[in-house]
Amino acid sequence: MARSTSSVITLNINGEKFTLPVDNRTTLLDALRERLDLTGTKKGCDQGQCGACTVLLDGRRSVACLQLAVAAEGREITTIEGVADGDRLHPVQEAFLDLDGFQCGYCTPGQICSAIGMIEEHAAGWPSAATGDVRPEAGPPPLTAEEIRERMSGNLCRCGAYVSIVEAVARAAAATAGSAAAHGGSATQGEEAVA
């Protein structure tokens, strides 16, 4: 008996459920862009190397071009269209606008989604290759420019807006930490740590 090469899946994207038939080989990127018209997620290299298609899966960064749509079923998917709170921009979006963290803007949606996930990873104490003391009891390292560059290294900007991107991520991390501290959460080091 021949196996079916397609499935009907339900994807939870930006708080909404979308049911659609897909070929089992359809990537999440193609499902978002071609099937659901969520074109904020960009197709860059289509090989997982540029980060333009970065989305959040259950709050963690993922390149959508390497993720099968069928494997994303049952997970919470956040695209650039879903990071703002209505008309109120996410702190990362605000920082990118305020500090010109983009030029042509093509990589910006992936940069923003990656930065949101990266700030959460840092706050949770995840080390990077630039982290000097990786012991869990050391806690999150200072969020220096070197830490940000290493943690964002999977996102390429062909325009070269890296200086502004690093500054924007640092500002957003500081704003996020301030918001968490105001609501009883733990604070991380932010913009003042960037040298």
| Strand-by-strand arrangement of the 60-63 sheet | 16-23, 6-13, 76-78, 54-57, 60-63
What band does 22 get if pLDDT is binned at 50, 70 and 90?
very high
pLDDT at 191 over 70: no
| Residue 179: predicted pLDDT | 67
| Residue 189: predicted pLDDT | 45
pLDDT at 104 over 80: yes
| Residue 190: predicted pLDDT | 46
Find residue 61's DSSP bridge partners: 56
| Residue 181: predicted pLDDT | 59
| Residue 193: predicted pLDDT | 47
Percent of the chain whose pLDDT exceeds 90: 83
Bridge-based pairing state of the strands 6-13 and 16-23: antiparallel
Q: Which residues contact 1 (CB under 8 A, 6 or more apart)?
A: none
Classify residue 188 as exposed, middle or buried by CB count within 10 Å of its CB (0-12, 13-18, 19+): buried
Give the number of C-alpha atoms closer than 13 A to the C-alpha of residue 113, restricted to the C-beta side. 29
What band does 187 get if pLDDT is binned at 50, 70 and 90?
very low
pLDDT at 81 over 50: yes
pLDDT at 84 over 90: yes
Q: Residue 22 corresponds to which tokens in the numbers above?
A: 């897909």
| Residue 188: predicted pLDDT | 42
pLDDT in tens, 120-135: 999 999 999 999 999 8
